[in-house]
Structure 1
Amino acid sequence: MSSSRWYGDDRLHYGVGIEDTFIPHERVGHRKLDEYELTQHYSHWEEDLDLVAASGAEFLRWGIPWYLVEPAPGQFDWSWIDRVAERMHELGLRCIVDLMHYGTPLWLENSFLNAEYPERVASYARAVAERYQAVWSDFTPLNEPVVNAEWCGQNAAWPPYLEGQDGFVKVIMQLGRGMVRTQQEIAAVHPDPTFVHVDAGFLFEGETSPLSRGLLEERRFVALDLITGRVDADSPITGWLTANGVTDAELQWFRDNAVTPDVVGVNYYPRFSKARIRDGVVDPVRADAAGLRELVEAYSARYQRPMAITESSLVGTPEEKIEWLQQSAAELAALRSEGHEIVAFTWFPFFTLVDWLYRFDSQSPDAWFREFGLVDLVRGADQSLDRVRNASFDVFLELAREGRADDQ
C-alpha cells in the first residue's frame, strides 16, 4: 500500500476480521487456545483471503501469531507470513495488522509481567514493520487492553494468572508501556504508518459492585488515557491507580512518551458489550444500536480522533445478522451526519470462532463453535472445515459496494 491515509477520504469503509486469539500456554485444566489452528486458518488461509476479497471488504483485521513467528528471542520465522502478505497484496486487501492479540511467546517468562515485555514486543513489532513496509501500513499495537488485563490480571484465566484489582493494574501498566514502545519503534522504521488503537466498548447498566459504575466507566478508558498522556493528578482514575501501586514517576513516563492514535477503534457486540455487574457476576444486557451510539459519542468526545468500529457481530440466524448489519449501517450514517468522524465498520469475526471457554474444557472444538460470521464452518467427513457463506454475506457485500460507490 503506497499510502495509509485512507481514513481521510470522508467515507465509511467496510472490512472484516479473522479471530486471532493466541494463548499457547498450557497447564492442568487449561488447553492451548490458537484460533487459527482450531478454525484451520493455517491450512485454509488462501481460501479465507479469497472469501474476504469476495465479500467486498476493503480491509482485513488479521493478526500475527507472535509465539510462532519469534520461536526464540530475536529469531524470526517469516515463511508463512511472507506468503500471506503477498497474497493480501495481490488481492488489494488493506491489512490492519493485529500485532498483539492476547498471548505472548512461551519463552517470555511470566508473560506480560516480565520486565523485558515492553521492549520485547516493541522489537518484534519493529521487525514486522520493517520487513513488510511495502505492503502493510496499518497497525494495532495491542487489541483490547482492558479485556487483556481482565483475563490475565484480574480473573487469573490467562498468563500470568494474577487476580483482583492489583493484578489488573500491574498488567495494564505493562500493556500500556508495550503499546507506547510499539508505536515508537514502528514509527522509527516505517515511512508512513497508521496506528489503529482498539478498545473494547464496555457499557454498564445500574449500579455495579465491587467496583462502582463510575469507576468502571473510567477504567474502560485507562489504556488509551495512559498512552496518550492524559493521566495526571486531576484525572478521575489516578487515585485508583496509585492506590494499587502506580507511582507518580510511572505516570510521568506516559506523559513524557505520549503517542497519538490515528484512528480510535471500538469493539461493540450488541448482545454482550453492555452488562449489569453485581458482586463480580456479569449479566449481559442487550443494547442494540443505542449502545453503539453511546460508545461512539463517548469516545468521539474524549479523544476527538477518527473512529472505527473495529469489531461487531452476533451469534444468531442469518436474518438476525442481516438485521444488525442494517441497524449498524443506519446508526453510523446518522452519527456521521451529526459530525462524528466514523471511518470504518468491521464485521468481526468473519467466520465461526471457537469460544474462549474451550480452553477450560475437554470437549472437541466443535462443541464450542460460535456462529458469529458471514461464513460458517462446517466439518466434513474428512475432518476439514468447509467454509460456507450464509445469507448475511451478500448483504455485507452490498453495503461494502455502496461504501465504495460513495467515493466515485
Structure 2
Amino acid sequence: MAQKGFLDRIKKQFGDGNYEGDQFGGAGGHDGSGLPVNTPGNFMFATGIECSYPTIQHGKVRRDLLRECGHYERFKEDLGLVREMGLNVLRYGLPYYSIHQGSGKFDWSFADEAMAEIKRLNITPILDLMHFGVPDWIGDYQNPDLPVLFAEFAGAVAERYPWVRYYTPVNEIYVTARLSGKEGAWNEQLKTDKGFVTALKHCVAASIMGNHEIVKRRNDCVIVQSESAEYTHEIKATPSPQIMLENELRFLSLDLLYANQPSASVAMYMMDNGLTREEYDWFMAGKPPGYQVMGNDYYGRNERIKLPDGSIETSMDVLGWYEITKDYYERYRMPVMHTETNVFEADLAPIWLLKQWVSVMRMRRDGVPVIGFTWYSLIDQMDWDSQLKEVNNHVNACGLYDLDRKPRPVAETYKMLLQEFGQITIVPHAEMLEITERPAQLKVAT
C-alpha cells in the first residue's frame, strides 16, 4: 500500500481546501473586486468637475467652466452622478475668483450649498483652491502679494469646512505660469521668461503658504499636488538648447515645491529671470507640511514631437503616463496619483481609459505607491481645444457624461473597471498601511 503523503493527512484533518481562516487573506481572501468602499486603505478612484476660470482678452472676459457647463444650476444633479458612477472621490474646485472678494471678505453662498451636498452624499472631495485664475482685485500672477492673499483664502476654507482632509492648493502650477506668463494666453498674458518665472514662483509660494494655513487647522491633511506630466521629443541629430531646457523646466514647479535642487542650467535660468538667491534658499528649506502626494496629469497632447523644420506635432502616447510619471517618481520619491486624463473624441475614450489603467497597474506592480486614478472630468468641457483662449462654445466630448448629463461610452468602461478593481488597496498590503489620521510629522527619505 502506498504511503499516504502530507496532503492526505491535511485533508483528513482540515478538509479539501476552503479552510476556516482563508477569508482573512488566504486562498479565499478578497480579490479587490466590487465597487469602491470609503475606507482609508481603498485605492482612490475619482473623477473631477472642470472648474477653470482664467481671464482672457486682457482681462475683459472671465472664463468660468462651472458656469459655462451648467454646474451652478445643476450641482446636485452632477454630484448625484458621481454616486451613480459608484465613485467616492471627487476632485472639486471652489471658484476662488468669486468667493474671495477682498481681504477678509468672502461670499460662501454657492460653496456652502455644494459642500453640504458633497458631505450629505458622503463623497470625499479633493478640494481644488486655485484653478488657473485669481480674483479681479488681486490682478494676476505677477502680484507679489498673491501668496499672502491666497493663504488667507486657504485658511478660511479649512476653517469653514473642517471635515475636508484632501486638498490641491494650486492646480497645475507649471501650466498656470506657462500660459499666463510665457505663452500670453491667460490672465497677465505675458510672453517673457521673466513673466513665467515670476508667475511660477508666486504660485509655488502661494501653494506652500496655503498648505501651511490648511495644516494649522487640519494637521493630518493630505495635499495632492496636481501637475502636468510633459515631454517634448525632438527629431534632430543635435538636440537644441531650447528643447533641452524646456524638458528640464517641466520639473521646476515641483522642484521648488518639494525642495529638490534643480539643475545648474535651470537655476541660472531662474536667476537670470528674477528669482533671487534669498527666494531660492527659502524654497529649498524643505517640503511643505502634511502628507504629500504627487499627482501627475497626463493627456496625449502632453507629449509633443518637434520636427527639424521647427513644427510641432502632438504625439499621443509615445512614452505614455507610465514612462513619464516614472521620471517624476524617481526624481521625488513621493506617493503618486494619476490626477487627470481624457481625450476629446468620445469614441476613443474607452480604450484611452483602459490604456491609462494598464499604466497604473504596471506602475503598482513595479513597486511605485500609486494611490489613485482620475478620469477628468465628470461632464463635458468647453473650448479646451483652444486652451480657453477663444470663446467658441465648442463642446469637448471628454466627460463621463455629456452636457445633458447623459452617459458617454467611457462611463460604462469606467464602471466596468470599478466593478473589477474597486476595492483594491492603495498599495498592496495597505490594510497594514492605511492612511493614518495622526498628524504628519516625519519627513524621512531613507
TM-score above 0.5: yes
Whole-Å Cα distance in 2 between the matches of residues 142 and 280 of structure 1? 32
Whole-Å Cα distance in 2 between the matches of residues 177 and 35 of structure 1? 26
* 1:211–1:32 CA distance, 2 compared to 1 (3 A): farther
User: 1:103 is aligned with what amino acid?
Assistant: G
Note if contact 2:346-2:408 (Cα within 8 Å) is conserved in structure 1. no
Q: What are the within-5 Å matches in structure 2 for residues 179-198 of structure 1? A: 179-198=207-226
Q: What's the CA shift string for 1:204-233, capped at 9, x where partnerless?
A: 11158975332122111101111222236x
User: 2:90 is aligned with what amino acid?
Assistant: L
Larger Rg: 2
Q: CA deviation at 1:194?
A: 0.6
Whole-Å Cα distance in 2 between the matches of residues 74 and 406 of structure 1? 43
TM-score (norm 2): 0.80
Q: What's the CA shift string for 1:249-303, capped at 9, x where partnerless?
A: 1101112353266210000012x01012468854311116x41111221111111
> In the alignment, does 2:266 pair up with 1:237?
yes
Question: Which one of the candidate residues 28, 34, 47 is aligned to 2:77?
Answer: 47
Instruction: Say what the alpha-carbon RMSD is for the aligned residues.
Output: 2.4
Q: What's the CA shift string for 1:150-202, capped at 9, x where partnerless?
A: 11100122122221212111111111111111111111122421101111010
Aligned to 1:18: 49
> In the alignment, does 2:123 pair up with 1:93?
yes
Whole-Å Cα distance in 1 between the matches of residues 342 and 396 of structure 2? 11
Whole-Å Cα distance in 2 between the matches of residues 124 and 280 of structure 1? 43
* 1:238–1:335 CA distance, 2 compared to 1 (3 A): same
Question: Which one of the candidate residues 339, 351, 356 is aligned to 2:367?
Answer: 339
Q: CA deviation at 1:359?
A: 5.0
Whole-Å Cα distance in 2 between the matches of residues 231 and 281 of structure 1? 32
Aligned to 1:351: 379
Question: Which one of the candidate residues 392, 416, 431 is aligned to 1:398?
Answer: 416
SS in 2 for 1:231: coil
* 1:57–1:149 CA distance, 2 compared to 1 (3 A): same
Whole-Å Cα distance in 2 between the matches of residues 281 and 222 of structure 1? 25
4+ residue segments displaced more than 6 Å = none
Whole-Å Cα distance in 2 between the matches of residues 161 and 139 of structure 1? 28
User: 1:376 is aligned with what amino acid?
Assistant: D
Aligned to 2:158: 129
SS in 2 for 1:119: helix
Q: CA deviation at 1:375?
A: 0.6
Whole-Å Cα distance in 1 between the matches of residues 391 and 91 of structure 2? 30
Question: Which one of the candidate residues 386, 390, 396 is aligned to 1:370?
Answer: 396
* 1:280–1:230 CA distance, 2 compared to 1 (3 A): farther
Structure 1 stretches of 5 or more lacking a match?
A: 1-5, 378-385
SS in 2 for 1:48: helix
Aligned to 2:149: 120
User: 1:128 is aligned with what amino acid?
Assistant: V
TM-score (norm 1): 0.88
Note if contact 1:31-1:359 (Cα within 8 Å) is conserved in structure 2. no
Structure 2 stretches of 5 or more lacking a match?
A: 1-37, 426-430, 432-446
Question: Which one of the candidate residues 224, 234, 241 is aligned to 2:254?
Answer: 224
Q: CA deviation at 1:398?
A: 2.2
Whole-Å Cα distance in 1 between the matches of residues 91 and 287 of structure 2? 25
Whole-Å Cα distance in 2 between the matches of residues 340 and 243 of structure 1? 36
Aligned to 1:3: none
Aligned to 1:388: 406
> In the alignment, does 2:296 pair up with 1:266?
yes
Q: What are the within-5 Å matches in structure 2 for residues 321-340 of structure 1? A: 321-340=349-368
Q: What's the CA shift string for 1:36-62, capped at 9, x where partnerless?
A: 110010001000000011112221111
* 1:211–1:43 CA distance, 2 compared to 1 (3 A): farther
* 1:131–1:177 CA distance, 2 compared to 1 (3 A): same
Aligned to 1:107: 137
Which stretch has the larger CA shift, 42-51 or 206-215? 206-215
Aligned to 1:168: 196
Whole-Å Cα distance in 1 between the matches of residues 310 and 122 of structure 2? 45
Whole-Å Cα distance in 1 between the matches of residues 206 and 321 of structure 2? 28
Whole-Å Cα distance in 2 between the matches of residues 33 and 162 of structure 1? 18
Aligned to 2:166: 138
Whole-Å Cα distance in 2 between the matches of residues 373 and 80 of structure 1? 23
* 1:280–1:193 CA distance, 2 compared to 1 (3 A): farther
Whole-Å Cα distance in 1 between the matches of residues 241 and 135 of structure 2? 32
The number of residues matched between the two structures is 384
Whole-Å Cα distance in 2 between the matches of residues 147 and 160 of structure 1? 14
* 1:152–1:389 CA distance, 2 compared to 1 (3 A): same
Whole-Å Cα distance in 1 between the matches of residues 157 and 63 of structure 2? 23
> In the alignment, does 2:285 pair up with 1:256?
yes
Note if contact 1:23-1:104 (Cα within 8 Å) is conserved in structure 2. yes
* 1:284–1:27 CA distance, 2 compared to 1 (3 A): same
> In the alignment, does 2:310 pair up with 1:292?
no
SS in 1 for 2:234: coil
Whole-Å Cα distance in 2 between the matches of residues 341 and 310 of structure 1? 14
